[in-house]
Amino acid sequence: MGALSRPEEVLALVKLRVAAGQIKRQIPPEEHWAFAYSMLQKVSRSFALVIQQLGPELRNAVCIFYLVLRALDTVEDDTSIPTEVKVPILQEFYRHIYNRDWHYSCGTNHYKMLMDKFRHVSTAFLELGEGYQKAIEEVTRRMGAGMAKFICKEVETVDDYDEYCHYVAGLVGYGLSRLFYAAGTEDLALDSLSNSMGLFLQKTNIIRDYLEDINEIPKSRMFWPREIWSKYADKLEDFKYEENSKKAVQCLNNMVTDALIHAEECLQYMSALKDPAIFRFCAIPQIMAIGTCALCYNNVHVFRGVVKMRRGKLLL
C-alpha cells in the first residue's frame, strides 16, 4: 500500500525493472560472467542498480572491481578469523585475483558463496583489458594493506577515521577514476576529489549502520571516532539506551556534519564528468548519501532501528 500511495514512485520503479531486464540480456553467456552479475545482485542491490548506467565493457570492469573489493571486505568483516590468519590474507589478496584456483571460505550467506566460488571472479578478471586489471590490482593491494593496519588499530581521532575511510572507500573512488580513464571516456580526476567521493559514501554508511555494527556478533567493530563520541558519552554503546537519547542525537549531528565536509568536493568531481552514463553512475549513490544524511540528522531512530531512503523516491 505504501508504494501505491505514491504512484510517481511506482512508475520510476517500473522503468528501472525494464532497464534491468535489458541489461540482463547483455550479460556475457559464460558461467563466470553469469555468476558475477548474479552475485552482484545478491550482495548489493543498490550497486547492481547503478551499474546499469554503464556501457558493456566498463560495466564488466566495474562489476569485477566491486566483487573483488566485496570479497576483500568479507575477509575483513569476518570477526571469527584470527588476526594472525586474517592479516596475511588481506595483505596478499591482490595476488589471489590472478589465481583461478584460489578461494577462502569465510563470511555468511551470499558472501560465503562469493568466497567459495571466487574462481569465477578471477576468471572474469583475467578477461578484462590490462588497464582495468592494473587499476583493480593497485587498489586491492593498497586497500588490503590499509585494512590489515586497522585490524590492530582503533579509530581514535578524526584523522584515524579519515584514514580508515580512505582505505576502505576513498580508494574505491580512486580506482573508479582509473577505470573511467582506462575506458577512454574521462580525464583522470584529482586523487583528492576521488577520495572525497568515497569518504562521503563511507561515512554516511558508518553513521546509518550504528545499531547493526554495535550489535554485531561475536564482537562489534565500530568506526565512530573516539575524538567525536567521547564528547557525549563514556562508552559508544551508551547511545543505544533511551536515557541517553539527547546526547546520542548531539553526537549523531556532529558525525553527519563531519560527513558533509566532503560534499563540495563530490560536486566538483561530478561537474567535471563528460559521459552522461558515468555521471548518472556516480550521481545516484551520492544522491542516496545526501538523502540518508538528511534522514539521519537529528533522528534518534538511528539508534533504534534502520534508517533508509525509499528506492522509488531516489529514482524520481
Catalytic center residues:
164, 208, 221, 281
Question: Residues, the chain, total?
Answer: 316
> CA 314, 54, 275, 128 torsion: positive or negative?
positive
Contacts of residue 12, defined as CB under 8 A and 6 or more positions apart, other chains included, come to 312, 315, 316
> CA 44, 46, 49, 54 torsion: positive or negative?
negative
Please report, as a single letter, which amino acid is at residue 79: T
State the Cα–Cα distance between residues 210 and 111, nearest whole angstrom.
Answer: 21
Q: Apex CA 91: angle with CA 66 and CA 80, to 5°?
A: 80
DSSP state of 47: H
DSSP helix, strand, coil percent of the chain (3-state; round to 5): 70, 0, 30
Cβ neighbours around 114 below 10 Å, total = 24
Largest CA distance in the chain: 56
Please report, as a single letter, which amino acid is at residue 291: G
CB burial string 243-270: b at 16+ within 10 A, e below: ebeeebbebbeebbebbbebeebbeebb
Please report, as a single letter, which amino acid is at residue 238: D
- Backbone φ and ψ of 208, nearest 5°: -60, -35
Please report, as a single letter, which amino acid is at residue 272: A
